[in-house]
Amino acid sequence: MVYAVMHALSTLEVARVIGVHKQTLLDWLYAGKVREPKRQTVGGQVVRIWSQSDIERIREYKRQNYCKGRGRKKKV
């Protein structure tokens, strides 16, 4: 029997994948602009478990609301 192993990404890795600074991603999470992923306790620390759908949701938020170097898009 073959099992697929899914590599869990850290918040830093997710930020790099979507192309924003880690603090920008954390700011979006703390402000409630993007939904917090599930959390799990690993080795006494609570970590976020990022799914592919979480990453796609953040990419969509970024596409609609963020321009690198200028921050938020201006509302037209």
* Domains in the chain, number: 1
Domain enclosing residue 53, as ranges = 11-68
Give the C-alpha distances (Å, rounded to integers) separating 39 from 14, 19, 48: 15, 22, 4
**Nearest-angstrom CA–CA distance, 37 and 50:** 6
- The per-residue pLDDT for 75 is 58
The answer to whether residue 74 sits within a structural domain is no
Total-model pTM: 0.75
Q: Between the CA of residue 54 and those of 3, 12, 24, 29, 30, what are the distances in Å?
A: 23, 14, 16, 12, 15
Q: Tell me if 62 is assigned to some domain.
A: yes
pLDDT in the model for residue 5:
47
With bands split at pLDDT 50, 70 and 90, how would you rate the model's confidence at 6?
low
> Residue 41 has what pLDDT?
87
Is residue 2 assigned to a domain? no
pLDDT at 7 over 90: no
Residues 42-67 have pLDDT tens digits of 888 888 889 899 999 999 999 888 87
Closest CA relative to residue 33, chosen from 76, 8, 9, 64: 64
